[in-house]
Amino acid sequence: MPGFEWFGDAERKEVNEVLYSGVLMRYGFDGMRNGHWKAKEMEKAIETKMNVKHAQLLSSGTAAVTTALAVAGVGAGDEVIMPTFTFVASFESVLAVGAIPVLVDIDETLTLSPEAVKNAITPKTKAIMPVHMCGSMADLDALKSICDDNNLLLVEDACQAFGGSYKGTALGAFGDIGCYSFDYVKTITCGEGGAVVTNNSDYAIKADGYQDHGHDHIGNDRGAETHPYLGFNYRISEMNAAVGIAQMNRLDDIIFVQKKNKTVLKDALSTIEGISFRVLPDPDGDNYSFLSFFLPTEELARKAHKALADFGTDGNFYWFDNNWHYYKKWDHLHNLDGVSPISKQVVDGMPNYKGKEFPASDAIISRTISTLIKLNWTEEEVKDRANKMVEAIKSVL
Ligand SMILES: *Cc1c(COP(=O)(O)O)cnc(C)c1O
């Protein structure tokens, strides 16, 4: 998912327009900006591309998830169901709004297991938050019907899946509200940035205010604006948004190249008896940023992961040992190690994660390897890589 691989004249041109006007902020200074409204322009581009009514650009994906939860009304003491396999930002955002992250198992989609979700619902549950990990989607029909049956919000963390879709709807735009990240290692980048998308105008108005200290953005005198709600500062700068505009124009090409490269690797690995692939609820909606596959056992997965490196292929992730993406290493969450005291509601409401195991998740993640798909590989390099991967994996089976 590396938008960072493609940075060139288009990005420099957009940033220079901001530099020459000198207006680095997304609001105000109308006379000085030479007509440049980069954040607004990128929001329009996201709305068009994702076919969604409202996009709100933000300073990060973490700010996006936090804003999405807040404006959808998730707050103090509410439970948010989320997967054991994600990035720490997902639960950071839940905690940021005063809510309680309830971890539940994943299935072979590498995202929320609908069965596990059903079993985790309590009277305090307010939202279900699938995370479309590694560029591919959760079983959104199943999760949506659970939400409908239980009157719950569907909040999509699509931070890793920009450009992906589910049965024709953009990931992020399927649920009540969705989130993207444009940090430096995501599908496209702003350097740092994120966005919330929704078809709900009430959420959109609240997001617009929430990310800018509650400003209502009515009229053209910033100092005279009123503040109907409490907010924060999660604004994106014009410089970051400028990079993002150029990157938006590359999105189709990025997905095209990722698809081409992933297909070569997947076709090659398909010939190996004994490995299987991540389940994709809509294979055509993949954003193709990773190829994820399963070995028959944990031991073989560990050996295969090592062999892949020994045979000279980089960028293979074994998430079971990963410090950031899997619940086992989230000691700071399990112990609620805040830098300052945490609200009593959260302390009292947190499930006891100390020593808690998720054997169903372990049984999948301990066998999973994901290969990052790069844009700048030549055709030769992709073929060579495919051959090496096959040799490496066969050497341990
Ligand atoms: C990257 C990421 C985020 C947060 O994005 P930042 O822009 O880095 O703050 C949230 N959720 C997931 C799943 C991510 O991968």
Ligand 1 atom with minimal separation from the 65 CA:
10
Domain match, 70 and 110 both: yes
| pTM exceeds cut of 0.95 | yes
Q: So what's the pLDDT on residue 4?
A: 84
Residue 215 and residue 257 in one domain: no
pLDDT per position as a tens digit, 35-47:
999 999 999 999 9
Span 170-179, average pLDDT = 98
Q: Which atom of ligand 1 is nearest to the CA of 183?
A: 7
Percent of the chain at pLDDT exceeding 70: 99
Distance of CA 273 from the midpoint of ligand 1 (Å): 35
- Ligand 1 atom having least distance to the Cα of 63: 9
Choose which residue among 59, 69, 159, 186 to substitute to test ligand 1 binding: the one with the highest number of ligand atoms within 8 A of its C-beta.
159
SS3 percent helix, strand, coil of the chain, rounded to 5, is 45, 15, 40
Model pLDDT, residue 220: 86
Q: Which residues line ligand 1 (CB under 6 A)?
A: 60-62, 65, 86-87, 89-90, 131, 157, 159-160, 181, 183, 194
User: For ligand 1, atom 10, which residue shows the shortest CA distance?
Assistant: 89
In angstroms, what is the span from residue 188 Cα to ligand 1's centroid?
12
Q: Domain boundary residue among 198, 228, 250?
A: 250
Take atom 5 of ligand 1 and give the residue whose Cα is closest. 61
For residue 105, report the distance from its CA to the centre of ligand 1, in Å: 20
The mean per-residue pLDDT over the stretch 320-341 comes to 95
Is residue 259 located within the same domain as residue 239? no
CA distance 267 to 324: 30
Pocket test for ligand 1, best of 92, 186, 290 (most atoms within 8 A of CB): 186
- Over range 59-76, report the average pLDDT: 98
**Are 114 and 225 in a shared domain?**
yes
Residues 262, 199: one domain?
Answer: no
Q: Please give the distance, rounded to the nearest whole angstrom, from the Cα atom of residue 66 to the centre of ligand 1.
A: 11
Residue range 273-317, pLDDT digits in tens: 999 999 999 999 999 999 999 999 999 999 999 999 999 999 999
243-257: per-residue pLDDT in tens? Answer: 999 999 999 999 999
Q: Which of 209, 224, 250 marks a domain boundary?
A: 250
- Is the domain of 168 the same as that of 148? yes
Q: Which of 27, 24, 21 is nearest to 221 (CA)?
A: 27
Show which of 250, 281, 312 is a domain's final residue. 250
Q: 378 vs 3, 257, 267, 289, 341, CA distance in Å? A: 17, 10, 17, 16, 52
160 Cα to the center of ligand 1, angstroms: 7
* Local structure of residue 328 (DSSP, 8 states): G
pLDDT at 1: 56
Count Cα neighbours of 308 within 13 Å in the Cβ-side half-sphere: 23
- The CATH number of whichever domain residue 199 belongs to comes to 3.40.640.10
Which of the listed residues 88, 183, 189, 372 should we mutate to test ligand 1's pocket, taking the one with most ligand atoms within 8 A of CB? Answer: 183
Domain that holds residue 42: 3-250
Give 242-281 as a DSSP string: HHHHHHHTTHHHHHHHHHHHHHHHHHHHTTSTT-EE---S
Instruction: Give the mutation target among 4, 57, 90 for probing the ligand 1 site: most ligand atoms within 8 A of CB.
Output: 90
315 and 188 inside one domain? no
**343 and 305 fall within a common domain:** yes
Mean pLDDT of the region 30-37: 94
- Would you say residue 191 has pLDDT above 60? yes
Domain at 349, CATH number: 3.90.1150.10
Question: How do residues 135-172 score in pLDDT, each as one tens digit?
Answer: 999 999 999 999 999 999 999 999 999 999 999 999 99
Instruction: Name residue, tokens 């839940």.
Output: 94
Residue 228 has pLDDT above 70, yes or no: yes
- Taking residue 345's Cβ as centre, other Cβ atoms within 10 Å add up to 15
234 lies in the same domain as 92: yes
Q: How far is the CA of 62 from the centre of ligand 1 (A)?
A: 6
Q: Are 206 and 215 in contact (CB under 8 A)?
A: no
68-80: average pLDDT = 98
Q: How far, in Å, is the centroid of ligand 1 from the Cα of 48?
A: 23
DSSP output for 40-69: HHHHHHHHHHHT-SEEEEES-HHHHHHHHH
Residues 385 and 340 in one domain: yes
The Cα–Cα gap between 75 and 80 comes to 10
Number of domains making up the chain = 2
pLDDT for residue 3: 75
Q: Cβ contacts of residue 194 below 8 Å, gap of 6+?
A: 57, 58, 59, 60, 61, 62, 63, 64, 65, 159, 179, 180, 181, 182, 183, 236
State mean pLDDT over 108-120.
Answer: 98
Ligand 1 atom closest to the CA of 89, numbered from 1: 10
Give the active site residues.
186
293 and 347 part of one domain: yes
Same domain, 295 and 357: yes
- Confidence (pLDDT) at 355: 87
State how far the Cα of 161 lies from the Cα of 140, in Å rounded to an integer.
Answer: 14
